Structure 1
Amino acid sequence: MIRLGLHGLGIAAGAQRTVIDAVAAAAERSGFATLWVGEHVVMVDDVESHYPYSDDGKIAISPQVDWLDPLIALSFAAAATNRIGLATGVLLLPERNPVITAKQAASLDRLTGGRLSLGVGVGWSREEYDALGVPFEGRGRRLAEYVAAMRTVWRDDVASFDGEFVSFDRIRVNPKPRGRSIPIVLGGNSDAALRHVAQWGDGWYGFNLADVEEAASRAATLRSLCREAGRDPTELRLAVSLQDPVPADAVRLADAGIDELVLLGGPPADPIAAEAWIADLAGPWMRVRT
């Protein structure tokens, strides 16, 4: 049976404290498996970079809306819940300091009893990288190295790392996450992203795919790449969101080996209405899963 996730907090009305509390608690009661929160550090009014998740290459979200830091937003969602999984979808890791991010993620994972999955990706906005002073080129290599460095920090009591983009020697970074690791879920729908998942990821988040057929095709490509890399594809967590999903898609996605369908949506600004929104959203999906 496929799990259901919700990607609807941290932006616009979903950035309000009262709405986060209401949506998170209602999602947990309704049986959602995971709350996903995305990231952009900056937005620009006149963007020239191509947005890869729409037909016209433009992001539909206004640059003027509030967009919370995902780890802070998930901290508030965690405080309103007890069991539901928490995931960044996705954290733009090449734009961040990996040692600080490793500490922040480990802190959240420890405080939530191991509920965190760290979704990471390279992003698409050159303007955002420029604003942060990080080279846009080489961001894929930077991502892979940052993940390796973070896993070293999480695993080793006294950690050392010597890479192209980050180096440290005999440092202690505490707390450690529960189990000395946090699952790394890689975002992106391209062959390059899937190759990274196969090589070093713990899972994949396919975002805003056109339909079940595209999701199944991408999952099949990922399984093939895993076999080439000598990895067992059944060990990976596969989550996808679709552009216009219907409840019948849940069964078809499960048959295609997808573990979680993530529903995309923005809650209303009133917390009582937000609770009703979750109930209305969950109803038909939970029925098809039983």
Structure 2
Amino acid sequence: MPPIFGDKLFPYNVSDSIGRHQFNPKLQLLIGHTEMEGLKLAQITDQYVGLGGRYTRQSVLAAPTSVTKQQVASDIRKLIPPGLLCERDVRRIVDEYTRGAKVGGKRNSGQLLVRSCYMAGDIVTTCLPVLFGSQLIESDSFRRTGGNIYGYKLSYTPSTSKAYGSRWARTDHDDDVPLMFGQPFYLTGHRWTADDRKMSSAMLKIWTDFAKYGKPEPSNSSGHQWPKYEINRSNGAVNVSYVELNPLFPGNRAIRLNRYRGHDGYIPNVLHNCLGFWRPLLSDNYQCN
């Protein structure tokens, strides 16, 4: 599904607007995503298109035992929005996200499902704010006039999540919403955990400080300052720094500084590699040849 614009909400192509300096250059932005944005999309696709029942609520909680590389390759194809990319690049995506995959046993089967969910999140949700942020900070107008961007990733899985208790699934799309709005402190009918409240408290402070001062201030972070969103190129990777939100880190901290790994952390290294892998594929001047 290509980007939609041309109405009152989005009258122009975002990239064109940035290139023509048609935006407020003094913006202070807080952008981010959850760890596994693609889980919900995989579950919806499994329900309405069919992915063999591998992503249902029951399957997420169970330990998968017989997932094959071929099944996940087929799942990835079905999770790519129809008509978005050429067959050549669909094959490349399948190859990259299944590269080095091991098969057999509960752990390997779960890791195969992790790959397809990461792919669905990277292409549809995860990489969009990363690419948007990278376009803005590369704009002369944005840099000259004091615009700043701050990035985050929520890797904590709250007890309301469909991934809660799973052996392989991770923080899902929308899992940040109840924490961001303080639901663990007032919403009844659910047994919230102490970690839910700890993470929610940290996020409430982050968003409130950002609304007041235009800059998020990490709470309980051992004095770390929230880094500005900047592109770093090293060891063949293209990264931007972000703050990771999770109350389960060592030392009882709710956040830690991190960066998108792309080649130096995840296996396969394509996971979350928004600037190095996805940017060329999703660029506005992309053409099928």
Structure showing greater radius of gyration is 2
**By the TM > 0.5 criterion, same fold?**
no
TM superposition score normalised by structure 1: 0.27
TM superposition score normalised by structure 2: 0.27
The structure carrying a bigger strand percent of its residues is: 1
